[in-house]
Structure 1
Amino acid sequence: MVLALAPALLGSVALFAATDDMGGMHAGHNVKVSAKLVDIVRLATRPFLDVNATAGAGYMPAFGCVSGPDHGAMGIHYINGDLVGDGEVDATRPEALIYEPSSGGMRLVGVEFIVDAATWMKNHTSPPMLEGQAFQFVNSPNRYGIPAFFELHVWAWRDNPNGAFVDWNNKVSCEGQ
């Protein structure tokens, strides 16, 4: 399942100067949120502020920057196929890291937690949640051409005027690609 789901998810998702403290503003990222899950994600993903750290941790870039005609953007997803296929969620180990391309390089803006719905439901009686944040269910067939899954975005490194857990972020752009 891991090997079958990871390549499909990689291709499907493609279609579609930090401060020293964890609070307050993040230089170049304008982060003001302080929800517990956001704080956990920021601490866990701090090593990935440098996009070069992704390869050694099993994250691979999907092709292209995900943007919407009227919803802002998501950015470029770097996905860890092993985490996608493990059927579990862990706030310290997101399945995808999301970067915004810019003239200065790639900026980490958030993460996406992704879990195969059938695998999850084999071992659980309700949809996944992390720190009180409910995952969204994406049924199959879907525009990604993959089995049904649960997902949750966390904009830990870029403020989102619509909320820290909303899929699209109006403050993220693909123009730098």
Structure 2
Amino acid sequence: MKKLVSYTLAAMIIPMAVWAEDVDLDKLRDAVSKYKDVNVAMAEGYISPDNNCVSAEGEGLPPDLGAMGMHYIQPQLLKITGTDPRVDGMSTHTNWMQPSVLIYEPQADGSMELVAVENLVFLEAWNAAGKTDAPVLNGRGWDHMADDPGTPGDEAHGFAPHYDQHVWLFRENPMGELMPFNPNVTCEHHPS
């Protein structure tokens, strides 16, 4: 549990003199509803780079935290510059009406259900743009993600150091609509 505490509290104690945005979640839900059909997302360039479903247990966290799901990224919005050894890019994209990541939960019938959206900015690009503090959405600082090689899980999920923020628009999250994991999401139907 120590790892979870540092993961979530770090985002909450960021100074408020930061880049902040308030977003009407009902308007956001309407704007991204078209992506409920994963084929629409793929037609607009979203891809699942590693076909991985992220669960808390898979990341070395308590299983009762649930999962995130499968991340479909939009390479142009993330300005991907490389994938080895980690996905890296030049993104400072924070437009919530066109999120850079869509998150799906695999279903028993093989279909994908849109559960959340996410934006991600790469730390190096963010700092190079003169932004030295984490972005804030609706009063919550985005999570700072960097892998700790001393743990079995990959805290950055295959990405270079970055800030990211999840928004659970289509699946209720008892921990909060802006938290990273959702106990009401599972990877149990992922083919791996």
TM-score (structure 2 length as normaliser):
0.67
Q: Which runs of 4+ in 1 moved over 4 A?
A: none
1:114 to 120, 126, 135: 120
Instruction: Tell me if 1:92 matches 2:92.
Output: no
Residue 55 of structure 2: which of 67, 71, 77 is its match?
67
- 2:37 maps to 1:50: yes
The 1:141/1:171 distance shift into structure 2, 3 A limit, reads closer
Secondary structure (helix, strand or coil) at the match of 1:60 reads coil
Distance 2:68 2:104 in 1: 8
Cα distance in 2 for partners of 1:37, 1:121 equals 27
Partner of 1:9 in structure 2? none
Q: Which amino acid aligns with 1:65?
A: C
Q: How far did residue 150 of structure 1 move?
A: 0.4
Give the Cα separation in 2 of the matches to 1:146 and 1:64.
13
Q: 1:54 aligns to what SS in structure 2?
A: helix
How far the C-alpha of 1:57 sits from its partner, in A, is 1.2
The separation in 1 between residues aligned to 2:27 and 2:100, in whole angstroms, is: 15
Deviation at 1:127, TM superposition (A): 1.9
Contact persistence 2:23–2:137 (CA under 8 A): no
Instruction: Compute the displacement of 1:84 (Å).
Output: 1.6
Which consecutive unaligned segments of at least 5 residues does structure 1 have? Answer: 1-34
- Map 1:1-150 onto structure 2 (within 5 A): 36-61=23-48, 62-69=50-57, 70=63, 71-85=65-79, 86-104=91-109, 105-123=111-129, 124-139=131-146, 143=154, 144=156, 146-150=159-163
Q: Are the equivalent residues in 1 in contact too, given 2:78–2:100 (CA < 8 A)?
A: yes
Aligned-partner residue type, residue 98 of structure 1: I
Equivalent residues in 2 for 1:164-175, closer than 5 Å? 164-175=177-188
Could you tell which deviates more after superposition, 167-176 or 134-143? 134-143
In the superposition, the TM-score normalised over structure 1's length comes to 0.72
For the aligned residue pairs, the C-alpha RMSD in angstroms reads 2.1
Q: Secondary structure at the match of 1:99?
A: strand
Task: Name the CA shift for 1:103/1:36 in 2 (closer, same or farther; >3 Å).
Answer: same
Across the two proteins, how many residue pairs are aligned to each other? Answer: 143
